[in-house]
Structure 1
Amino acid sequence: MRLHQRRGLALVLVCLATTSGCLGVFSAGVTTFEAAPADVGDGAAAETGFERNGTRDSVVTRQLGPESASKTVRVVSKVTTYEKPLEIPRLGSVRLGIFSVISTPAVEVAGQTFNPIGEYSNDRLVDLVTDRFGSFSGLERVRSRQVVVRGTETTVTTYAATTTARGQEVPVFVHVTRLRDGDDFLVGIGVYPRAREQRAEITTLLRAIEHPAEA
């Protein structure tokens, strides 16, 4: 998987998080709302062999509302990515094990939530991954299971797909889930080659999500 494809798995979640307006704290004519960061407990990361690749802000500013009464909205989402090198036949060691967790604001105003990710199904989330970045082909739903994340039973859907690494096609599994946790939505996505089963490791990482992330 090319470097820009690996980054795409995390970046697409940021795009999902900022496709609609949020209302938060007004300052100098700008409405800002910032998510609390999320990550994975150190013990779970060490147990599964996934290495943290850092947390970064994704900031999007846009105008909302009619021109005569538009507001400038600044949305700050947090995305944390983990990677794991895996030995693949004919390819050697490739960092094809990927886990990303994003925290994005879920703001309620007058009883309404102004972030569309709260309504997205897992099928919608994974479709946006493939449509926006073209990293996968032949996407097909395989199964769904229930996993408790942050005390909430959430549906994790597994998809089969194909990606490209070092010029060769590699069959992979993609795991996707979404939930509401406090003031934010959390989205988790895990990817690994079908030749190197990592389902249990992805489940361990999902169960170990911390939000807000510990300092």
Structure 2
Amino acid sequence: MTMLTRRAMLGGVAAGLTATAGCVGVLTGDEPLEFTAEPASVGESALESTGYELVTEESPSVNEEFTVAGQTREVSVTNHLRAYEKDVDFGPLGSIRAAMFAVFTTPQIEFAGRTVNPVGEMSNRELLRQLASRYDGMSVGESMSSTEVQTLGKTVTVDRYEATTTVQNQDVPIYLLLARFQHAGDFIVTVGGYPRRLTDEESNQYTLIESVQH
């Protein structure tokens, strides 16, 4: 079981990019428009101190064709995802990989003085709900608190949300932590999840955010 599966995160953000691709249609020309983000990851020392391990590295691309003034253009957007997981004690259910952290990068996609990317347009709650809608058994509640942390030379806000997920047919209350900020021409989104009763896990999540490399 994972709190927010890799496919859920990829599907949610990629779907949003696809839905917004038509907004770039004011550009004209013959060559495909290509936008590529730089990958982000968590430093090895932070992974060792928190017990998380890398489980996937993916670079999903979104391609969309559109026609403007009789001209057909193709937009290709390449994103990057790094996902990490950790086994935690789940009482009678034993040790389960029930804590996760993911860092996602997607290009800002600028034209005509505007940045066009749904990751930049949506609120944090909207983004989390879109991601959760692609994972059976997960629901996102209200924002509980916000904390500021330092990462990549800037102060970013981390929002904590109540949520529930299903573990072996049981509803389990969890927290989801989300940070979204800009760095070096990309949007960076970090999403973490862990059972609410594991109060010590929150500090581990902050450590992972602080150690993001891009």
Which of the five TM-score ranges fits, normalised by the shorter chain? 0.7 to 0.9
What's the offset of the Cα at 1:157? 0.7
**Is this contact kept in 2: 1:154–1:179, CA < 8 A?**
yes
- List aligned pairs for 1:131-142, cutoff 5 A: 131-137=133-139, 139-142=141-144
Gapped runs of 5+ residues in structure 1?
Answer: none
The partner residue of 1:55 within 57, 61, 75 is 57
Residue 115 of structure 1 deviates from its aligned partner by 1.1
Q: How much does 1:123 deviate?
A: 1.3
- Per-residue deviation, 1:69: 2.5
TM-score normalised to structure 1 length: 0.87
Q: Aligned letter for 1:77?
A: N
Partner residue of 2:40? 38
Residue aligned with 1:13, SS: helix
Shift of 1:161: 1.3
Counterpart AA for 1:188: T
The change in CA–CA distance for 1:67 and 1:57 in structure 2 (over 3 A counts) is farther
RMSD over aligned Cα atoms: 2.3
Whether 1:148 aligns to 2:155 is no
Letter of the 1:6 partner, please give it.
Answer: T
Partner of 1:104: 106
Is residue 14–residue 102 contact of structure 1 (8 Å, CA) maintained in 2?
A: no
CA shift in 2, pair 1:15/1:135, >3 Å: farther
1:17 to partner: Cα distance: 4.5
How far apart, CA to CA, are the structure 2 residues paired with 1:70 and 1:152?
40
Aligned to 2:59, the other structure's residue is in SS state strand
SS for the counterpart of 1:132 is coil
1:9 and 1:152 mapped to 2: Cα distance? 28
Report the Cα offset of residue 131 of structure 1: 2.5
Cα deviation 1:120-154 (Å, max 9, x = unaligned): 22111112122333442362221111122212222
Q: Is the 8 A contact 2:179 2:191 kept in 1?
A: yes
Partner of 1:64: 66
Return the offset for 1:66: 2.7
- Between the two proteins, the alignment pairs up a number of residues equal to 208
- Name the CA distance, whole Å, in 1 between partners of 2:6 and 2:156: 25
Asked if 2 retains the 8 angstrom alpha-carbon contact of 1:17 and 1:104, the reply is no
What amino acid sits opposite 2:6 in the alignment?
R
Please give the residue correspondences for 1:1-215 in structure 2 after superposition, counting only pairs within 5 Å.
1=1, 6-11=5-10, 12-21=12-21, 29-66=31-68, 68-137=70-139, 139-197=141-199, 198-211=201-214
Q: Provide the TM-score with structure 2 as the length reference.
A: 0.88
Letter of the aligned partner of 2:212 in structure 1?
I
1:9, distance to aligned residue in structure 2 (A): 4.5
Distance 1:58 1:2, change over 3 A: same
1:88 maps to a residue whose letter is F
Deviation digits for residues 29-57 of structure 1 (CA, Å, limit 9, x no counterpart)? 32221111100000001111000112111
